[in-house]
Each structure stands twice: as structure tokens, then as C-alpha cells.
């Protein structure tokens, strides 16, 4: 059994997909959603699923006392695995080390393309269109101490048409994320 905690920053469509899949699971229940924005819509999504939330600021995440404060909250939920679902801040080393090989991120590009600091969401899709890419996709990977780095667990591709806008690309990426993220997480956890 693995207790899952989701870290998210925004609207939470990937987080909700994970909650739809894992809430009520005996094997991998979602125990909490941790968020760095008090007005993020993901908090409403968590509430509708009956999932507790914990809110902190980016400054609190990087403060010297963060390790004790956030670790205490994670312990409250017996967290075994952290899933990053649109979580934008860089994850501090104390969390990476605590969840070595048990922290999974989803990124809206085919890493190593269009990743790193500042490359998230619409910024990625706009760059894909601006550079006239013919394909893009998603990457699901383990988290290490660098942005969008770590062992790749899964990638899925989709074509980019010459007439596609960033919004068109975003829709294709969203479809891939919704189709694959929960299954890749579950398949990986079954190997642990």
C-alpha cells in the first residue's frame, strides 16, 4: 500500500484525474493535496473529493524551517509517494531526498526539449509552435534535484500541425495527460 500526496499549484486538472483514479483505492489512496497558492482551483477540486489540503507559500517552502513544517504535515498523512501535478516551484532537496524514487512529475513536453526553469504550461506550448515543431508530447519522470530532470518513466507523442495554435497544442497535451498519468503512476508503483 502507498499513501499518495499530490502537490499542485493551479487549476488542478491533472490532480483531479489522479483523485478520480485513486480516491477510494485501498492500494494507493490520495491522502492530501499540498498547494502553494491559497486561491488555486485545485483546492476546490480536492474539497469536492473530500481530500484534505495543506497550503504553503513559495517562501515557506524554501525557508529553513520548511523541512520540519512540511515534513510534519507529510507525516500526518503517512505519505509514501508524492505526485507533482502542475506544481511550479522547484522542489527543495529535503523533499527530493525524502522521496527518492517515490516522487513523480508530469511535464508537457518531450524532455529534454522545452523543460527547465520557466518552461511550464502555455510557455511550453507557445515555444513548440514558435519553433515549428512537428511533434510534441508529455514526459512522466522521477524527480531529482534539477528542474524537469530524473529518470523518465514514460513519454507519449502527438503531432503538431503547421496550423496549430498554442491552444491547439495544449488541448492535445491535456488529452495525453488525462489518458496516461494515472496508469503510469500505478504501473510504476507496482514495481516498488
Q: Which pLDDT belongs to residue 41? A: 97
Q: Are 99 and 125 in contact (CB under 8 A)?
A: no
Q: Which pLDDT belongs to residue 24? A: 82
Q: How many Å apart are CA 83 and CA 81, to the nearest integer?
A: 7
CA angle 60, 118, 68 (to 5 degrees): 20
List, in sequence order, every residue forming a beta bridge with 8; answer none if it has no partner.
35
pLDDT digits (tens, 9 = 90+) for 94-144: 999 999 999 999 999 999 999 988 899 999 999 999 999 999 999 999 999
Q: How many Å apart are CA 5 and CA 129, to the nearest integer?
A: 33
Owner of C-alpha cell 504535515: 73
List, in sequence order, every residue forming a beta bridge with 35; answer none if it has no partner.
8, 55
Quickly list DSSP for 115-143.
Answer: -STT--HHHHHHHHHHTT-SEEEEEEEE-
Please report which confidence band the pLDDT of residue 25 belongs to, taking 50, 70 and 90 as the band edges: confident
- Average confidence (pLDDT) over 43-58: 95
Between the two ends of the chain, the Cα-to-Cα distance in Å is 10
Closest CA to 191 of 104, 107, 105: 104
Instruction: Please give the helix or strand (H or E) that residue 4 lies within, else none.
Output: strand 4-8
pLDDT digits (tens, 9 = 90+) for 53-102: 999 988 888 888 878 889 899 999 999 999 999 999 999 999 999 999 99
- Average confidence (pLDDT) over 13-34: 94
Question: Would the pLDDT of 22 be above 90?
Answer: yes
Q: Are 73 and 95 in contact (CB under 8 A)?
A: no
Owner of C-alpha cell 495525453: 176
Residue numbers annotated as active site: 107
CA angle 119, 122, 123 (to 5 degrees): 35
Enumerate domains of the chain plus CATH numbers: 4-189 (3.40.50.170)
pLDDT digits (tens, 9 = 90+) for 169-178: 999 999 999 9
Please report which confidence band the pLDDT of residue 183 belongs to, taking 50, 70 and 90 as the band edges: very high
List, in sequence order, every residue forming a beta bridge with 32; answer none if it has no partner.
5
Please report which confidence band the pLDDT of residue 162 belongs to, taking 50, 70 and 90 as the band edges: very high
pTM above 0.85, yes or no: yes
Q: Which pLDDT belongs to residue 58? A: 83
Amino acid at each position: 500500500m502507498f499513501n499518495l500526496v499530490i502537490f499542485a499549484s493551479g487549476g488542478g486538472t491533472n490532480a483531479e484525474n489522479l483523485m478520480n483514479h485513486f480516491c477510494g483505492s485501498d492500494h494507493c489512496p490520495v491522502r492530501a493535496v499540498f498547494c502553494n497558492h491559497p486561491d488555486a482551483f485545485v483546492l476546490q477540486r480536492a474539497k469536492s473529493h473530500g481530500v484534505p489540503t495543506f497550503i504553503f507559500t513559495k517562501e515557506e517552502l524554501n525557508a529553513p524551517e520548511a523541512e520540519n513544517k512540511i515534513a510534519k504535515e507529510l507525516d500526518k498523512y503517512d505519505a509514501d509517494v508524492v505526485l507533482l501535478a502542475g506544481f511550479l516551484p522547484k522542489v527543495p532537496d529535503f523533499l527530493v531526498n525524502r522521496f527518492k524514487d517515490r516522487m513523480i512529475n508530469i511535464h508537457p513536453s518531450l524532455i529534454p526539449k522545452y523543460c527547465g526553469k520557466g518552461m511550464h504550461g502555455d510557455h511550453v506550448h507557445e515555444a513548440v509552435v514558435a519553433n515549428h515543431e512537428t511533434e510534441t508530447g508529455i514526459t512522466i519522470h522521477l524527480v531529482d534535484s534539477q528542474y524537469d530532470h530524473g529518470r523518465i518513466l514514460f513519454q507519449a507523442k502527438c503531432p503538431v500541425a503547421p496550423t496549430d495554435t498554442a491552444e491547439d497544442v495544449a488541448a492535445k497535451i491535456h488529452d495525453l495527460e488525462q489518458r496516461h498519468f494515472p496508469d503510469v503512476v500505478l504501473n510504476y508503483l507496482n514495481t516498488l
